[in-house]
């Protein structure tokens, strides 16, 4: 049990919640779980039912049984079940009686550990359990009378387990059916006792997955995956076979594991004897499907990983030799898994949008689909604008927004359209973003139409828009915002000028004209360019100086930016998120904005002057130059 920590305010108890783990009998402990500490939550204001509902929402898992441990006692003697309001009252009494930390434990599978307390806890009979070697990896797939679809070449696993941003699938509960089983010494013992052992937890790291007496599995694919991980981690060459009693045996050297009949998938006997040397060529145990399952996330982030690079990585990470052919098939298999994951992501967009609307009232989530003649719906566009962001822009930002688009870098290609503004400290303020299939006038018009409603731009009078002259954007802005001041990004004009006219003097004169604050200064700079090259002068004049020179900007915008750096900077920050599946990407964008707004708010609380630091530096620089006027 972890040591106690003092309660800083004393108003609420410190409660450590342990969940997504399992109780083990020998020795009695709670293994492979996640813990989270509450120190600002009023548990005394809840009933037992309200507490269960709160915890289930927090964990996104169901609770079969709930326990807590009295402070200062070991887990085996201090654990107490919480089954009703009276038990919950006892928990509240112990929680507020001490200044330390009280621990809660969640049983997601209803193992019924109360039966263990009156019985003597046996000591474990060995160190690491192991299983034996052979060559036919497909014997396990020939189990009879099993109502499970299982492909002998594919190891099905939950692909979302390894990514903290993806949805976790619920774990099914399986019950064993055998009445009698064998212990380590070959004696029979009651099945009801052994069934109290752990259910296999897929969240356990692959190197720590070992067979345990009484461990249960929900299907043969899960069993096979655990055995493959165990064999690779220890260098064991395993084989699968049936004995006369039609029970599955896994052998290696003189050790063996036997499993019950096909309906339960529970380890019934275990002889952890192993004397062979480590094997680096595991043959049929390491299949291309096993490799692909372990490297799905890597291929999701780096689709161009070479087969030979994968072979070297497998050898380094797993300590086993594989062929180039295995790696080639593993890559193909991993990409197939990714395609299935992407389909699941796009299918959950409706649920994601509805959850955001529920948890963030006032936020705008729009999903547009394309209806096909065959009756199927395909993803079209997805728009996101959180209520807090649009309120913050209306109340404290300059009347200018930057529009930009960037490519998605994952397997599913597309564009991410984003809009960013300038806050009162002249910093970047992202406002909204949208995922579209392609950048064109129709998609820009759809994006701007929603943005106008969220920000209240109306016809654009009194506002400015700066963009990089994207395809269809200019026409869409003219139609929807006829009175807006539309600026062009000076950086992109400069890059195009550099392609046409070689020489640093062209770029120098352009920036002098771009940042000229009076029409006289602008004309002097353009006259200089005309004397240098009349065609370059004509090229810039055709770009309409009212859209890129400060001398012609309309007053009242409180912003003199001549380049769309605010949108470009936002695109650079989210470059890693753009490589991931759509829901993961949207979650990362949301979390990034939450952290950014919170950090900016905390930083601004320390500002005592009404003029913000960046603006004050600009004013001080201007003051230094006043002596020249």
Of 184-188, 274-278, 295-299, the least confident:
184-188
pLDDT score, position 249: 54
- pLDDT-based confidence at residue 1 (cuts at 50, 70, 90): very low
Asked whether 203 and 183 are in contact (CB, 8 A), the reply is: no
Task: Report the mean per-residue pLDDT for the chain.
Answer: 77
What is the pLDDT averaged over residues 245-255?
50
Distance CA 577, CA 484 (A): 32
Distance CA 601, CA 616 (A): 18
Using H for helix, E for strand and C for coil, what is the string for 459-484? Answer: CCCCCEEEECCCCCHHHHHHHHCCCC
What is the pLDDT averaged over residues 368-375?
88
Coil, helix or strand at residue 432: strand
pLDDT score, position 185: 37
Here the tokens at position 155 are 């190891």
What is the pLDDT averaged over residues 262-286?
66
pLDDT score, position 270: 67
pLDDT at 158 over 70: no
More confident residue, 288 or 481: 481
What is the pLDDT averaged over residues 128-140?
37
pLDDT score, position 386: 96
More confident residue, 295 or 301: 295
pLDDT score, position 354: 94
More confident residue, 3 or 105: 105
Pairing of strands 34-38, 397-407: unpaired
pLDDT score, position 381: 94
Distance CA 523, CA 137 (A): 81
Pairing of strands 65-69, 79-82: antiparallel
- pLDDT-based confidence at residue 256 (cuts at 50, 70, 90): low
pLDDT at 105 over 50: yes
pLDDT score, position 244: 47
pLDDT score, position 224: 77
Of 41-50, 249-258, 309-318, 329-338, the least confident:
249-258
What is the pLDDT averaged over residues 431-438?
94
* Tens-place pLDDT, residues 540-581: 999 999 999 999 998 887 788 899 988 888 988 998 888 888
What is the pLDDT averaged over residues 125-150?
37
% of the chain surpassing 70 pLDDT: 76
* Tens-place pLDDT, residues 189-234: 333 333 344 677 777 787 778 777 777 777 777 777 787 788 787 7
Q: What is the DSSP letter of 581?
A: -
- pLDDT-based confidence at residue 101 (cuts at 50, 70, 90): confident
pLDDT score, position 238: 66
Q: How many residues does the chain have?
A: 629
pLDDT at 3 over 80: no
Asked whether 210 and 128 are in contact (CB, 8 A), the reply is: yes
User: How many other C-beta atoms can be found within 10 angstroms of the C-beta atom of residue 279?
Assistant: 20
Q: What is the DSSP string of 509-530?
A: HHHHHHT-SSHHHHHHHHHHHH
pLDDT score, position 274: 65
pLDDT at 130 over 50: no
Judged on CB neighbours under 10 Å (0-12, 13-18, 19+), 292 is buried
pLDDT score, position 315: 83
- pLDDT-based confidence at residue 336 (cuts at 50, 70, 90): confident
pLDDT score, position 147: 36
Coil, helix or strand at residue 365: strand
- pLDDT-based confidence at residue 483 (cuts at 50, 70, 90): very high
């Amino acid at each position: 049990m972890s040591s106690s920590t003092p309660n800083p305010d004393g108003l609420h108890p410190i409660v450590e919640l342990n969940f997504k783990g399992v109780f083990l009998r020998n020795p009695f402990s709670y293994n492979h779980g996640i813990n989270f500490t509450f120190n600002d939550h009023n548990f005394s204001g809840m009933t037992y039912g309200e507490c269960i509902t709160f915890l289930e929402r927090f964990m996104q898992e169901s609770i079969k049984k709930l326990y807590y441990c009295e402070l200062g006692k070991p887990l085996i003697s201090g654990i107490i079940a919480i089954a009703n309001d009276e038990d919950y009252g006892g928990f509240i009494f112990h929680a507020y009686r001490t200044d330390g930390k009280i621990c809660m434990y969640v049983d997601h599978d209803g193992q019924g550990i109360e039966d263990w307390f009156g019985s003597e806890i046996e000591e474990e009979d060995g160190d690491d359990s192991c299983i034996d070697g052979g060559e036919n990896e497909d014997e396990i797939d020939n189990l009879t009378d099993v109502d499970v679809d299982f492909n002998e070449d594919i190891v099905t696993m939950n692909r979302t387990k390894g990514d903290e941003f993806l949805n976790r699938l619920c774990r099914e509960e399986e019950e064993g059916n055998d009445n009698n089983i064998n212990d380590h010494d070959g004696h029979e013992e009651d099945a009801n006792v052994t069934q109290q052992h752990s259910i296999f937890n897929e969240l356990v790291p692959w190197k720590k997955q070992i067979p345990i007496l009484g461990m249960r599995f929900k299907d043969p694919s899960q069993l096979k995956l655990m055995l493959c991980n165990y064999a690779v981690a220890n260098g064991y060459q395993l084989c699968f076979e049936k004995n006369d009693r039609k029970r599955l045996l896994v052998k290696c050297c003189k050790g063996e594991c036997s499993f019950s009949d096909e309906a339960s998938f529970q380890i019934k006997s275990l002889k952890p004897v192993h004397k062979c040397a480590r094997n680096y060529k595991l043959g049929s145990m390491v299949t291309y499907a096993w490799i692909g399952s372990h490297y799905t996330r890597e291929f999701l982030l780096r689709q161009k990983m070479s087969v030979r690079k994968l072979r070297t990585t497998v050898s380094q990470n797993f300590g086993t030799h594989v062929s180039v052919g295995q790696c080639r098939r593993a890559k193909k298999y991993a990409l197939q898994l990714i395609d299935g994951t992407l389909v699941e992501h796009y299918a959950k967009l409706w649920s994601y949008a509805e959850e955001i609307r529920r948890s963030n009232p006032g936020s705008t989530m729009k999903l547009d689909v394309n209806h096909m003649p065959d009756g199927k719906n395909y993803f079209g566009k997805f728009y996101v604008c959180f209520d807090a962001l649009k309120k913050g822009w209306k109340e404290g930002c300059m009347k200018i927004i930057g529009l930009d688009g960037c490519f998605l870098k994952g397997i599913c290609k597309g564009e991410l359209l984003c809009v960013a503004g300038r806050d009162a400290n002249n910093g970047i303020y992202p406002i909204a973003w949208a995922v579209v299939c392609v950048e064109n006038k129709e998609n820009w018009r759809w994006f701007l139409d929603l943005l106008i409603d969220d920000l209240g731009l109306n016809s654009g009078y009194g506002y400015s828009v700066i963009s990089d002259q994207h395809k269809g954007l200019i026409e869409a802005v003219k139609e929807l915002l006829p009175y807006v001041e539309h600026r062009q990004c000076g950086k992109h004009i400069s890059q195009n000028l550099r392609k046409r006219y070689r020489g640093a003097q062209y770029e120098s004169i352009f920036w002098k004209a771009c940042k000229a604050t009076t029409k006289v200064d602008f004309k002097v700079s353009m006259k200089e360019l005309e004397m240098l090259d009349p065609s370059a002068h004509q090229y810039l004049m055709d770009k309409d100086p009212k859209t890129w020179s400060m001398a012609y900007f309309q007053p009242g915008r409180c912003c003199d930016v001549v380049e769309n750096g605010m949108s470009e900077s936002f695109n650079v920050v989210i470059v890693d998120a753009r490589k991931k599946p759509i829901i993961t990407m949207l979650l990362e964008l949301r979390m990034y904005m939450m952290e950014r707004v919170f950090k900016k708010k905390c930083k601004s609380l320390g500002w005592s002057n009404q003029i913000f630091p960046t603006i004050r530096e600009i004013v001080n620089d201007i003051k230094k130059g006043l002596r020249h006027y």
